[in-house]
Amino acid sequence: MQRIFDSRQLLAFITLARLGSFTQTAKELALTQSAISHAIKTLEEDVGCRLVERNSRKAVLTQAGEVFLAHAERSLGSMNAAREELDAMSIWGQGRLRIGASSTSCQYILPTVLREFRQCFPKCAISIESGDQPRQLELLLNNQIDIALMLEPLRYRELDFIPLFEDELRLVVPPAHPWAKTGRASTETASSETFLTYHKNSATSRMIGEHLRLERIQPGATIELSSMEAIKELVRVGVGVGVLAPWVCKAELAQGILVSLPIGRHALKRSWGIAHVKGRSPRLGEEVFIGLCKTVTEAMG
């Protein structure tokens, strides 16, 4: 069976080797001389040989003691380094934060949040994993990320979800489009339109498909893209009708380049928030990140 040495015994041995005196060692470590003697005796019993020669004048290391000293110093030094690193993780501005986020939130939400976060935690190591909801769920459950900025997942009891904001998916068309003039989408003419949507592997794509069926809106064709910017550009040049949240195209709507319309009679709502593994309390850096996300996304609903 492998022996595990007591760090207090190692410290006593290393200090004794440096000072050469049981009395001085006890004084430096604020212990009794008998406590130091007992620690060295126990250590010698553990290693199975004598480490220190005791005489009336000075404690001197044996040959075995000199060999063991080099290993003891490395071992205690490694433990001290680990303790310092762990202590540093609890200091304001230190540690790490592993974030998962969709490509949309990476582009429209995270830049402002991270700019503010870096001012609070300048030495925090940050990593970001971009991907849609299935990928984020996989990373969370495999402990490869700490938190994920994502749409609310369904049927995941292993996760806690902290709501941030609710948005609405709407149709987006150029101002010259017939639907822009009437202010609503026509189910009769939808079959002649091409709908531009986020790619089919996403939770958003599934929500859109279910909602269109509910509203009995049957597009003539669909084009799936992985870029919101690409969807906006294709809508702008008349390729099709986009399905987007207004906060993604806020500037274009304000300039009148695009017009936003409801998708049928019922609003298509989504809930955004921060997900993390259930039962694990967010650390300080995570709490600050969540708070910044709340502040930045207040006006997005």
Q: pLDDT tens digits, residue range 128-151?
A: 999 888 889 999 999 899 999 999
Name the phi and psi angles at 130, rounded to 5.
Answer: -95, 135
Which residue type sits at 283?
Answer: R
Predicted confidence (pLDDT) at residue 85 exceeds the cutoff of 80: no
Residue 156 vs residue 94, higher pLDDT: 156
Residues 52/55/59/63 CA torsion (nearest 10 deg)? -40
Domain 7-89 sits in CATH at: 1.10.10.10
Residue 249, classed as helix, strand or coil, is: helix
* Per-residue confidence band for 285, with pLDDT thresholds at 50, 70 and 90: confident
Average confidence score pLDDT of the chain = 88
Confidence (pLDDT) at 80: 77
Residues 92/98/102/104 CA torsion (nearest 10 deg)? 30
Domain 166-270 sits in CATH at: 3.40.190.10
Q: Any residues with CB less than 8 A from the CB of 202 and at least 6 apart, and which?
A: 102, 132, 133
Confidence (pLDDT) at 93: 52
Q: CATH 1.10.10.10 in the chain, residues? A: 7-89
Residue 26 CB burial class (10 angstroms; 0-12, 13-18, ≥19): buried
**Domain 96-164+271-296, second-level architecture:** 3-Layer(aba) Sandwich (3.40)
Whether 75 and 32 have beta carbons less than 8 Å apart is answered as no
Whether 154 and 210 have beta carbons less than 8 Å apart is answered as no
Whether 234 and 131 have beta carbons less than 8 Å apart is answered as no
Q: CATH 3.40.190.10 in the chain, residues? A: 96-164+271-296, 166-270
Predicted TM-score (pTM) of the model is: 0.67
Q: How far apart are CA 204 and CA 213, in angstroms?
A: 14
* Per-residue confidence band for 1, with pLDDT thresholds at 50, 70 and 90: very low
Mean pLDDT to the nearest integer, 209-232: 91
Helices 284-296 and 110-120 sit at what angle, rounded to 10 degrees? 140
Mean pLDDT to the nearest integer, 160-170: 93
Predicted confidence (pLDDT) at residue 79 exceeds the cutoff of 90: no
H helix intervals, 121-279: 133-141, 178-182, 203-214, 228-236, 250-255
